[in-house]
Structure 1
Amino acid sequence: MFMANRRSTALLARFHTASGRAVSALTAFFFTMSSGAGLLSGIARAGDLPRVVVLPYAPIFESLPAETGVKTAEFLNTELRGSEQVQLVTLDPKLFEAAPQQANPAPVRDDAKLTEARERTAKADDFIGKLKFRQAVEELDKVVALYESQHPHIDFSALVEVYLNLAVARFRLGQDDEGEALLAQVVRLDPERRLEAEKYPPVFIRIFESTAKKVKAAPRAAIRIDTTAQGATVVLDGREIGKAPLMIKDVIKGAHYLRVIPAEGGEAWAERIEAAPGDVVRLTPSLPSAGGPLGEIVALMSR
């Protein structure tokens, strides 16, 4: 703490206790300023005492929950309040508010729904082969709903194929706007997708390429993932992106599916999100705490 007085020595000694080791790993930042000088010279004055501001740690490293920084600041304020060597200066706590942790919205795996989705897909393929596009649309709409309700547990390539078949059926029914919207979703989920000439007619491929060009040219969004579980794997639309905390840039606008998998195992956090052009979608998934000093801190400060 860089204070050469008996009170600060006692505080440092406490950091060697079990709880103290956790707090010391999250040591707050101090700004100490002599009387009448420095940034905070007009905020507080108590003779010639140095002034100390305790800044919560979490807003600086937002991978920690908001209450961690707040409780650490409270602990340090309590320790320093009785000191005759320093003057505490309190700032507005609203300055340090961080995004609250979000409970896990991931649906529980339902094998019956996944089986039903596969069966309806096969049925829809049969309808398309028989040129019964209206019946195919009815089946594929149900498949999309089933897969989306189970998005943490699906193969996204299967969902992309369903969107493509549904787009084919919509176009064959003269529902061009609905068909283009489905193709746009294909591009969002799989930006590098190319259609096979042996599987799709040339006119459909041209429409898809035109749609992909428009979707990719539109303004992008970003997604920021903060979590207490350092090193958690971030998966977007079935593709592994990196390790949390993470900022995902150049996200195509529209619906996406995010999954955050703890590095040390446990239940993954997952959610369907909407990314608006120019926005930064901030997410703080609630995951099992990381091990080591960070895990100690989170466990201690969450009590």
Structure 2
Amino acid sequence: MSESALRRIGPREFDFSRQVAVMAIVNRTPDSFYDRGATFALDRAVEAAQVAIAEGADWIDIGGARFAPGPPIPVDEEAGRVVPIVEALAGSGAVISVDTFQPEVARRAIDAGAHVINDTTGIHHPEMADVVAAGQATIVITHSLAAPRTPHPNPTYADVVAEVAAFLRARIDLARAHGVPEERIVIDPGHDLNKNTLHSLELTRRLDEIAAIGPPLLVALSNKDFVGESLGHRDRRDRLAGSLAAAVYCIGRGARIVRVHNVRETVDAVRMVEAIEGWREPAFLEHNTPGGAS
């Protein structure tokens, strides 16, 4: 890891040379990829976020619009979905991010207390960088090819890793040119976003090449189609083991933030990796110790 390993993000300080942050997904959408609208109601969304924090999540990522193609969602409607959750989680101690590509939604979210904007379109609207810079927030820059909410059938790459890396470097330069310092940038290669399963697997195998770009690396693998297709027609609810395996593999290749649906299980997997690496002490010592169990 580079000198950017030490980060203050919102209320939390991370040493990404020896720490992995778990980002919990809370989607306030009626058509969400995984929970199919189970947390669309405001009280259900706030409760889900609070449960995730209790289960060990370091970070809550709030979404008000799917990445998938579809009609545009008005700014007022999207902001009305996410801002009340941001406000409800004030003082929770967790990093709060909002998943949006709309600069005005980002502005309102930051004003309400969001610490991070997670832009899965890779700053499609350059004004997003201005909003983040003015709000002193962190931005997650994600690789994707299509314009927001539009399809991109049959994506092709000569070298998916090289092209994703070039895109991310260019967007980092864009963000910095608009006033966002590198210490407030996180990158995400965008598994499955305008990519097929072979592309996502190649990105995973060669993830160290993306990590070498420098900023902390986020991976959003949880229950995605490349996991299901790799294992064989697995429903989204039956991809946990594959998702955990992919997350642990990515941590070994430099990922330091994992965006997930299944918080408790992922926290256990991540903390186990940290213990094996010697980055953290075991929670307690008893087995084959003086006075302990044999």
- TM bucket, shorter chain: under 0.3
Q: Which has the larger radius of gyration?
A: 1
Q: State TM-score, norm by structure 1.
A: 0.26
Q: State TM-score, norm by structure 2.
A: 0.27
